[in-house]
Structure 1
Amino acid sequence: MENDPNELNRVDLQVQDHEQVGSVALCSMLHRSNLLAVVGGGVNPKFSEISVLIWDDARESRDPKHKLVLEFTFTKLVLAVRMRHDNLEKQLLVFPGHKCGSLQLDLSNTKPGTSSAPFTINAHQSEIACVALNQPGSVAASASRKGTLIRLFDTTTRDKLVELRRGTDPATLYWYTPGSAISVDGTFHKYVFTPDGNCNHEAFDVYLDICDDDDF
């Protein structure tokens, strides 16, 4: 998103608010609340690409910095952000490993009073571009810079569960949820699993128009 983020009502797509925070790479809302997670990026960022900012839109101020509640800073680019209301039963951190195409899973806080080193999953041959977790944190999904495959892994056993093909042409995945993916060319891919374990893949070629001069 090269422009400042807008809040939209997804029923009628009416702009509810607009903030001058520079261009952003990621923006996630905590359900339909006033809390937003923002990661800087694009051509005119005001905030770092390695930091996650928790934003309280209910605070009345003309200075965007006065709406900042929390800031989390990491050593590498933030690839995905997800917020939830309830407390996590276990803390799970998934991030790109030192080896190209690998994922590291940190399960050190799954049991109080215990610790263990992060373990590695060799997920792809190319650099990791997109990472996502399902709601309980039992499955991790990843895609590489090549963008033709999405792979799902069991976070406990490290086994590969399934491999989903996005397409034959390379494309960067901007967003992935357990059942769908959006890539840089604007295509939307939907994956539906049947009770017998088969996967039906639907692709929508003209779902989004993603370009440098998007005007939201």
Structure 2
Amino acid sequence: MRPSPSEEVYSVRFSQDSSAFCCALASGVRQYNLEPLAELAAHGPLRFGSIGVCEMLDRSNLLAVVGGGATPRFADNTVLIHDAALDQFVLELTFSAPVLAVRMRRDRLIVALRRQVHVFTFPSPCERLFTVETADNPLGLCEVSPLSTSDHHLLCFPARKTGALQLIDLSATEAQVSCAPVTINAHQGHLAALAINQQGSLAAHIAFQPPTQTGVIQVATASRKGTLIRVWDVAQRCLVAELRRGSDTAVLHCIAFSGDSTYLCCSSDKGTIHVFAVRDPALNRRSALSRVGLRGRYLESQWALATCTVPAERPCVCAFGAAGTVYAVCLDGTFHKYVFTADGSCNREAYDVYLDVCGKNDF
């Protein structure tokens, strides 16, 4: 079932803890709880118009939106923060170019343009910390460590060199001055997807010394070729794993770590979600030829331990829930819940059309 034109979905974002999601629609914004699936809030077109980008701040009353789509009320170069408790917009930031992505934490607001990333203190006062020039970034790729309760926080986005990833420690920045960035040469081609594990903000020092706590800062990257996902240990600046989605080119829509960094999932235009084991790579599949002694980078690749099927016609984003659970929220308006096991089985446990789920609940 495809949504009607008035319900066209332009983008979907999970909350930082992956317990909820919001979707930007031709008819405004809706926010949903994941377990169980239930509508949390709906903001209609009379006040919001059509929205192209939205971002929740955890499960708080704050929501960031950017106009877009067929009937916008707001410019596509303006970020507005809506406070549901006050039922009004409380902040407006305008930029020189269209806003492609917004990332929020309880202490920072990050805005990605096609050639710049802006970092602000947040929520009050909201002041610009610094602006970084980037390479051409049409996807607005930008991710930040989701937790703000520790000493060090990682911001990553495409560097100016093709295929490279730039990393900045936000905890070591001051107004108008950022700390020395570090670059990882992740791929030969342009980056297409990024993810940071939650343990990233638990590591002892992002200034590239070995962490002294149990958390290891990891970043996952994929290029526009879409065949490989690479996982990097930021502190050591080394490749941890190379995970193979497939051998044919694909458009990756999303990559995400599980909350404990045990697994990583990705979705693509092939209509599949692949689940990889990060902490215990022995669980991942290998080519049968590698088991008989043949060697080579392709033959020794780690393939997904489990694969789930989703509609291929429209993009979808994926995230992990409780142990062994993967959610997929698609731009065709459908919701999917899968359960997988370490032996590779994967079954769809729930399906719904989230656009048909109504009934506002309290946060």
TM value normalised by structure 2: 0.48
Tell me the amino acid that sits aligned with residue 181 of structure 2.
Answer: P
Tell me the amino acid that sits aligned with residue 34 of structure 1.
Answer: N
- The equivalent residue for 1:107 is 169
CA-CA distance at 1:13 after TM superposition: 2.8
Picking from 277, 290, 307, the partner of 1:203 is 307
- The equivalent residue for 2:218 is 139
Cα 1:55–1:167, aligned 2, differ >3 Å: closer, same or farther?
farther
Deviation per CA, 1:84-138: give whole Å up to 9, x if none: 46423113221111111111112374499xx852121111111111111111321
Deviation per CA, 1:139-190: give whole Å up to 9, x if none: 1111111211111111122101101111223222222211211224442121
- The equivalent residue for 1:126 is 189
Superposition CA RMSD, Å: 3.6
Task: Provide the rounded CA distance (Å) in 2 between the counterparts of 1:176 and 1:37.
Answer: 22
- The equivalent residue for 1:181 is 266
- The equivalent residue for 2:159 is 97
Q: Which runs of 5+ in 1 are unaligned?
A: none
- The equivalent residue for 1:60 is 87
Cα 1:111–1:32, aligned 2, differ >3 Å: closer, same or farther?
closer
Cα 1:103–1:82, aligned 2, differ >3 Å: closer, same or farther?
closer
Task: Provide the rounded CA distance (Å) in 2 between the counterparts of 1:90 and 1:158.
Answer: 16
Task: Provide the rounded CA distance (Å) in 1 between the counterparts of 2:71 and 2:222.
Answer: 26
Cα 1:210–1:5, aligned 2, differ >3 Å: closer, same or farther?
farther
Cα 1:8–1:122, aligned 2, differ >3 Å: closer, same or farther?
same
Please say which of residues 149-158 and 37-46 is displaced more in the overlay.
37-46
Please say which of residues 30-39 and 128-137 is displaced more in the overlay.
30-39
Tell me the amino acid that sits aligned with residue 188 of structure 2.
Answer: Q
Task: Provide the rounded CA distance (Å) in 1 between the counterparts of 2:241 and 2:69.
Answer: 32
CA-CA distance at 1:199 after TM superposition: 4.2
Tell me the amino acid that sits aligned with residue 282 of structure 2.
Answer: N
- The equivalent residue for 2:150 is 88
Contact preservation (8 Å) 2:164, 2:183: yes
Identity %: 37
Task: Provide the rounded CA distance (Å) in 2 between the counterparts of 1:150 and 1:86.
Answer: 27
What number of residue pairs does the alignment pair up? 208
Deviation per CA, 1:1-26: give whole Å up to 9, x if none: 4224321232343333222443435x
* Higher Cα radius of gyration: 2
- The equivalent residue for 2:52 is 24
1:214 aligns with 2:332: yes
- The equivalent residue for 1:192 is 277
Task: Provide the rounded CA distance (Å) in 2 between the counterparts of 1:170 and 1:67.
Answer: 43
CA-CA distance at 1:67 after TM superposition: 5.1
1:13 aligns with 2:37: yes
SS in 2 for 1:31: coil
Cα 1:68–1:111, aligned 2, differ >3 Å: closer, same or farther?
closer
Tell me the amino acid that sits aligned with residue 119 of structure 1.
Answer: V
Q: Which runs of 5+ in 2 are unaligned?
A: 1-8, 11-24, 94-108, 117-136, 201-216, 258-263, 285-303, 316-329, 334-354, 356-363
Cα 1:39–1:142, aligned 2, differ >3 Å: closer, same or farther?
farther
Please say which of residues 32-41 and 99-108 is displaced more in the overlay.
32-41
Task: Provide the rounded CA distance (Å) in 1 between the counterparts of 2:70 and 2:269.
Answer: 16
